[in-house]
Copies of this chain bind each other. A is one copy, B any other.
């Protein structure tokens, strides 16, 4: 099994898509929110975050746009595309399927 704060392979995309569903955010802000909401259970490392964002953009599920914050820092702000919303729905469904299936194995005897 994964280390305590390790994110299971495949679930990061779901977490990112869901976070962007609420509102556009830049990379680090996405990671911060996931860590905060899960009370530290998931800690999204930069080395996982950016490749994941690039994959999602490549696949057309999110689009990034450079902008500048009030504090004057340049950030790349991401938002969901229409395809991304569809993908989020699909991944939620898939996640529910997996949780249900594991539950069956754990609870059936």
A residues sitting closer than 8 Å to B (CB atoms) are: 1-2, 4, 8-11, 13-15, 18-19, 22, 34, 37-39, 41-42, 90-92, 94-95, 97-102, 104-106, 108-109
Contacts and interface: CB of A to CB of B under 8 A. Distances in A.
A4 to B, nearest CB: 7
Contacts of A10: 1-2, 8-9
Interface of A (DSSP majority class): helix
A1 B101 contact: no
Contacts of A13: 1
A15 B105 contact: yes
A106 B14 CA distance: 9
Contact of A97 (B41, B98, B100): B41
| Leading 3 A-B pairs by shortest Cβ distance | A41-B101, A38-B101, A9-B9
